Chains A and B, each alone.
Chain A
Amino acid sequence: MEIVKVEGLTFTYSGSDIPALSNIDLSIEDGEFVLLLGPSGCGKSTLCRCLNGLIPHFYAGKIDGRVIVAGMDVSKTPTYVLSQHVGMVFQNPENQLFSLTVENDVAFALENLGIPRDEIRRRVDFALKAVGIEDLSKRSPFELSGGQQQKVAIASILALMPRLMVLDEPTSSLDPVSAKSIIDTIFKIKKELGTTVIVAEHRVELLADKVDRVIVMQKGSIIMDGDPREIFASEEVMPYGVPVPKVVSMAKGVNKHLKVFNDVPLSPEEFERGIRGFVHDKVR
């Protein structure tokens, strides 16, 4: 079943004459893990805002086309209803935090949904632990560093367990170990609960071997959409400045000298397997 259906979506922010999105058609199946790539300004955040109703409800502009999320027409559904189905982590998490303590922030959406207290407690504890900030639960979100705030924002949607998670550069301020552990957690939740995940992220190293699909945007349009291995291996992505995992460049470089890899690897583990296979078969 399809959870996101976008048809002929064009959006122009008021005050601007160039559309931030032009004629986007997109269909995402329930349970897909989608990586959104593209240069800054290409429209990733704008597309994310269209999925959770911030556009058109809170951003002024001209919109054409339709956005259906979980069967609801986004433009006709109040954002508080949408927010029960779509969890969003913004690019700048400090705009998302507003409670006196971290745990209140994480519990906020759950309280609004009228979830029983002990269930809220359980989910908040799970979410704080999942992102590794149990020790910050009583702190004020405003005295935290950018990375810590980003973890609070992520914990809030992990606690909500929505059907669709939209993550706009969720690990941009995180250190590599936290970023990896959060991506691993999201991947685990996706596999266990069948959550659909759409993530805009430049750190392809963390995601290349986990996502089902890569969408590349450029100047408000989708220019490529497909299997991660095909997209990263393709020479076509080069001119668009799409980040390619280092293991892909390494494998291509090695292949110029010795034919080691049939398929490009997407992680160090896959790279290692390729090299060891070659050593086993050819070096005897």
Chain B
Amino acid sequence: MIRFDNVTYVYPTGVKALNGISVEIGRGELVALMGENGAGKTTFIKHLNGLLKPTTGSVYVNGKDTRTLSVAQLSRIVGIMFQNTDDMFFLPTVEEEVAFSLRNLGFSEEVVQRRVDWALKFMELEKYRKRSPFLLSGGEKKRLALAIILAWNPQVIAMDEPTVGQDNAQKEKLKEMIKQLNLQGRSVIISTHDVEFVAELRPRVILMSRGRIVADGRAEAILTDGELLSSCSILMPQVAATVSRLADLGFNTKVISVEDAIRSIVDGLRRLEHTRGA
């Protein structure tokens, strides 16, 4: 679906933001791209729809080199929600914002209406249909940006820091939505350093640092490796950080969810009671 082949990207200022990235992301995969500020996550994501082209190496989307396709062509396959969604709105109402790019992509008016309805409903923005995007709060704007991308129905959805500015209830909603999009067979790639969110989502984690991929594996393995994470300015999720302090008591420390942690601790304490004799 997506393949990076030894990709290096150097900004005009001389900053080497990607440095020898080779990775494949398959159809229907759920991936979290993690790494410190400046690791290169946003630069990586901008390569997915051709906004940036590699300085050296190549990016392939559905087998085609992104250099051979326009951003508009790639955007039908890969929908990207960017980090700064605040400045991207320019139309008088929320529903027109969602309809705009659909009309641009050449969909019939009937399809446009159906998709606008669906996307606004999905993101719980129906009540703001006729409102100006500028009157939305930060979190609401983020949801609008997602609604716009969802309306295109792309095979790959990439979200750059989707949880930023989102409250608990919205993150919960976002998590369910990501799972649902993923269940529909779409590849979902999120860049984030929200470890708590990733711990709940349990995706494949690609860990980046200074333009390189330093680890790639299941969330359970990577998010419990404190040393690896701190070398990338990431902390363990609070569950793992808490249980890891109790390793000397013989508790299972490879846990990232609250439920697993409770089981690990209760089992561990019962074992101690048993072996030491109450």
Residues of A at the B interface (CB closer than 8 Å) are 13, 15-16, 38-41, 45, 91-92, 94, 143, 145-148, 151, 169, 172-178, 180, 202-203, 205, 241-243, 245-247, 249-250, 253-254, 257-258, 260, 268-269, 271-272, 275, 278-279, 282-284
B94 to chain A, nearest CB (A): 14
B104 within 8 A of A: no
Q: Give me the 10 closest cross-chain CB pairs, A-B, nearest first.
A: A40-B139, A147-B37, A241-B169, A253-B262, A177-B233, A176-B235, A268-B242, A175-B193, A246-B238, A243-B168
- A143 near B13: Cβ-Cβ < 8 Å: yes
A-B contact pairs, 15 of them (CB 8 A): A15-B135, A39-B167, A39-B168, A40-B170, A92-B138, A148-B38, A241-B169, A242-B168, A246-B196, A247-B238, A247-B242, A253-B261, A257-B266, A282-B278, A284-B278
Instruction: Name the A residues within 8 Å of B171 (CB-CB).
Output: 202
Instruction: Give a binary string over B150-179; 1 marks a CB under 8 Å from any A CB, 0 the rest.
Output: 000000000001001111111110000000
A278 and B269 form a contact (CB under 8 A): yes
B272 within 8 A of A: yes
Supply 10 further A-B pairs (C-beta < 8 A) apart from A15-B135, A151-B37, A260-B269. Answer: A16-B135, A38-B167, A45-B137, A146-B164, A176-B193, A177-B230, A202-B168, A250-B258, A250-B265, A271-B245
Check B167 against A202 for contact (C-beta < 8 Å).
yes
Would A40 and B262 count as touching, CB distance under 8 A?
Answer: no
B262 touches A250 (CB 8 A): yes
Contact A146 B238 (CB under 8 A): no
Q: Determine the distance from Cα of A40 to Cα of B144 in the docked complex, in whole angstroms.
A: 13
In the complex, the answer to whether B258 meets A173 with C-beta atoms within 8 Å is no
Contact between A272 and B167 (Cβ–Cβ < 8 Å)?
A: no
Q: Are A175 and B234 in contact (CB under 8 A)?
A: yes
Closest approach, in angstroms, between the C-beta of B271 and any C-beta of chain A?
Answer: 10
* Closest beta carbon of chain B to A212's beta carbon, Å: 21
Nearest-CB residue, chain A, relative to B195: A176
Instruction: Name B's interface SS.
Output: helix
Complex: chain A residue closest to B248, CB-CB: A276
B238 engages A268 (CB within 8 Å): yes
Chain B residues 255-278 with CB under 8 Å of chain A are 258-259, 261-262, 265-266, 269-270, 272-273, 276, 278
A145/B37 contact (C-beta < 8 A), A173-B164, A202-B166, A253-B258 known: yes
- Residue B19 at the chain A interface, CB threshold 8 Å: no
Question: Is A205 within 8 A of B164, CB to CB?
Answer: no
Give the contacts of B119-150 with A (CB-CB under 8 A). Answer: 132, 135, 137-140
For residue B215, CB closer than 8 A to chain A, the reply is no
Partner of A268, one of B137, B233, B241: B241
A226-B224 Cα distance, complex, nearest whole Å: 34
Is the beta-carbon distance between A15 and B137 smaller than 8 angstroms? no
In the complex, the answer to whether A146 meets B239 with C-beta atoms within 8 Å is no
Which residues on B sit within 8 Å (CB–CB) of A257? 262, 266
Which of chain B's residues 15-35 have a Cβ closer than 8 Å to chain A? 35
